[in-house]
Amino acid sequence: MSEGPVLYEKRDGGVAWVTLNRPDVLNAINLRMRDELWELMHAVRDDPDVRVVVFKGA
């Protein structure tokens, strides 16, 4: 799993879990988080093993 405002974990069964990790500001999206989400979604889109992405808040 990565560290920072966006945590990513890929599990068996084609499930990718994305955790918004800024609980101190109620997971409000800032520029850094937006950029990380953008990069992550492009990486997930190109991963044939990922079938679904689940978002959750920390």
Would you identify the CATH topology of the domain 6-57? GMP Synthetase; Chain A, domain 3 (3.30.300)
Mean confidence (pLDDT) of the chain: 94
Question: Which residues does 19 contact at the CB level (< 8 Å), separation at least 6?
Answer: 6, 7, 8, 9, 55, 56, 57, 58
pTM given for the model: 0.85
pLDDT at 6: 96
Residue ranges for the chain with pLDDT beneath 70? 1-2
Q: Where do the structural domains in the chain lie, given as residue ranges?
A: 6-57
